[in-house]
Structure 1
């Protein structure tokens, strides 16, 4: 696997987290002096957080974006910042999301990403969820989806769909996540169908964040109807998702039509045809989920682009990788196009 070099810098310019600084360590579940609760809202006295939060950690552009918010939205940001104290990555992520305008993106119900995140600071959560830790993880991955990882579970397809949702529909993604970590563990997907939390919320030793564990296990259960979160296998003991099940999953989460085609000389598309179609898609800014022959089994990745004979893709092990186009072509099993 090659170095990602300049490609990653161009494709994911938002992932650089500079000017890291230590925050104040605090218990995120407690309400300290200087922080008050009224109804469903927290507010923090100005001797706790300045009118422009994260001074020294945010760029002038990020601070300016904060100042342009309404007073209510500024307070929501302060509430989020209180939960990210001590985590420079999450604190910086809030500023980055602000300056890019992502916190104002709305879901299909007209609720902004900022308001969806703000609701998670006070809404009831399943007893196995650490609110502060969960918010830090969620905010960080919204700013950098490459933090999404499958760990040691066979949830690569679910992780790819999770990545897609964060990039394309972050507010809808957070709405789904909020439902999954609520006490009843239910949410509505963008296509209108219901999804239920699968498995425990306590960390399972898979090496995933609590966000990834809850989301991926639930997506796999939605797609298969019989996913065992303890073993990582489906009810028929198989691993991963078939083409039909993957289409069901990605269409449910993205609320958009996808078609998964098999690749080969006697299949839906030849390798050359598939590569050409991927190049067309990525040239217009559309990533392509692809199933590759991978060691003794298959592996789902997300093609980002092509450059000088290399294919760049998101690997749900939590990184961007590259592979020679010739080798990549020989290993393609299927691809999903919008």
Structure 2
């Protein structure tokens, strides 16, 4: 069976056809931190500096009038920010001088107000002086006048998960904060607060025992392939999008490409082991462009995955992962991200060339990718012999796997589509569609196949058990 671009699954037959997604998703605007042609921009808030200077001028002209009118009872200005001396003493001299100037009101009122909000927060007060000094350096990198950056920084230090990190890991987290965009800083807060196996996602570990934070810090401070800068893609872009995928897996999507198979695997990996995903992405963005998968195989950066393309709802890292996994999964064939097609030759009886040109992946290619990515054997399951016609056996098997995410192929439009099973409940089968977030109202119904939108933010959908049995082709069960 072959499952393709937006939704196509091909069942293995003597003359095997690949799964193509004949009905690809429509391009929709999403709230991705960084999308293919809509990159995250960093810097000041739109009107921070201007508003600050304008406000200062207005306050100056009206100060005396207000004071005389109000008399002795006029409201006093807030006191200057209180910055712990122990933290100041751990700053480099130039940074210490800047913080003191801001605290004394010698720079803009916006910077002073932001510093006050930060240092007055309970999270900042609870930190050790070493970490307070690191936070102050992140404040300076903000820049100090950016209310948005300061809001994200204050949210980060107020996070119990951040305060639970070691001093060294707090410093690494703040370095990531400094090296990403404004949107990326918000994604870092989300990722820090996400719980994986009872702890912050930052402390999730990959196949080598390294934390997600360790790989993320390497992406933030290490050498990246110059192919990205040549294509207008910055470190800030890559960090923002990889943190969004690791922190909000429900927003991962294939956009208009026929990569439903590997996009669903990308979702599964980020749900269960985001540290492994970030480790892979650190390798794919490095100069070598390679990463060893859990199963032992090596995945390489697909050359066509770096330039931005027409699938604008995908982020830079979604495109990179999906194209590179398509290239790995198809074996000896070649995947072209621009055309979204696989091409190559197969031998018939070991002698005759059989040219291939197809979208999506065949079932055995899906299995190959799953086994490499998750490091275990998978079987294509179409139901036991006695139940293959009515598919009840598949429903029973999946019911026993409730809340254990499982890749499965459905008939979809004129082709097939790979989705991720979530649960069977109240006569309905729930699954995650890799088309990604939608603005459609929850409860919206669709046809071909008949299904209902359960959660537009994560693209959770469902169909009745009876409709499911008509459209299920196969599921991929781990041994």
TM bracket (short chain): 0.7 to 0.9
TM-score normalised according to structure 1 size: 0.80
How far the C-alpha of 1:196 sits from its partner, in A, is: 0.8
Give the Cα–Cα distance (whole angstroms) in 2 for the partners of residues 224 and 233 of structure 1: 11
**In 2: Cα distance, 1:267 partner to 1:244 partner:** 22
Number of matched pairs: 298
Residue matched to 1:204: 309
User: Could you tell me how far 1:44 is from its partner in structure 2?
Assistant: 5.0
Superposed CA offset, 1:230-285 (max 9, x none): 21111122221111111110010000221112359888675100011011011xx3
- Structure 1 residue corresponding to 2:285, chosen from 181, 196, 199: 181
Alignment of 1:140-151 (within 5 A): 140-151=244-255
TM-score scaled to structure 2, two decimals? 0.58
Work out which of the two has the higher radius of gyration on C-alpha atoms and give 1 or 2: 2
Residues 263 and 271, structure 1, Cα contact 8 Å, conserved in 2: yes
Q: Does 1:70 align with 2:166?
A: yes
Task: Work out whether 1:166 is the aligned partner of 2:183.
Answer: no
Q: Is the 8 A contact 1:49 1:78 kept in 2?
A: no
State the match for 2:421 in structure 1: 303
Whether the 8 Å contact between 2:406 and 2:421 is mirrored in structure 1 is: yes
Counterpart for residue 392 of structure 2: 272
Residues in 1 aligned to 2:340 and 2:255: alpha-carbon distance in whole angstroms? 11
Q: Determine which structure has greater relative contact order: mean sequence separation of CA pairs < 8 Å that are 6+ residues apart, divided by chain length.
A: 2
* Deviation readout 1:22-51 (Å, 9 max, x if unpaired): xx9439xxxxx96xxxxxxxx95615439x
Q: In structure 1, what is the Cα distance between the partners aligned to 2:189 and 2:469?
A: 39
Aligned to 2:410: 292
Q: Equivalents in 2 of 1:326, 1:266: separation in Å? A: 18
Aligned to 1:4: none
Local SS of the residue matching 2:358: coil
The superposition leaves residues 201-249 of structure 1 with CA deviations (integer Å, 9 ceiling, x where unpaired) of 1211212111110000010110103212121111122221111111110
Structure 1 residue 314: Cα displacement? 0.8
Q: Deviations over 1:59-81 (max 9, x none)?
A: 95xx2221222111001111122
The 1:269–1:142 alpha-carbon spacing in structure 2 relative to 1, beyond 3 Å, is: farther
Matching residue of 1:327: 467
Would you say 1:95 and 2:192 are equivalent positions? yes
Contact 1:265–1:271 (Cα < 8 Å) also in 2: no
What is the deviation of 1:97? 3.0
Structure 1 runs not aligned, ≥5 long: 1-23, 28-32, 35-42
Q: Residues of 2 paired with 1:295 and 1:45: CA distance?
A: 53
Which of 136, 139, 163 matches 1:49? Answer: 139
Q: 2:224 aligns with which of 122, 125, 129?
A: 125
CA contact (8 A) 2:411 2:471 kept: yes
Asked if the contact 1:85–1:91 (Cα under 8 Å) also holds between the matched residues in 2, the reply is no
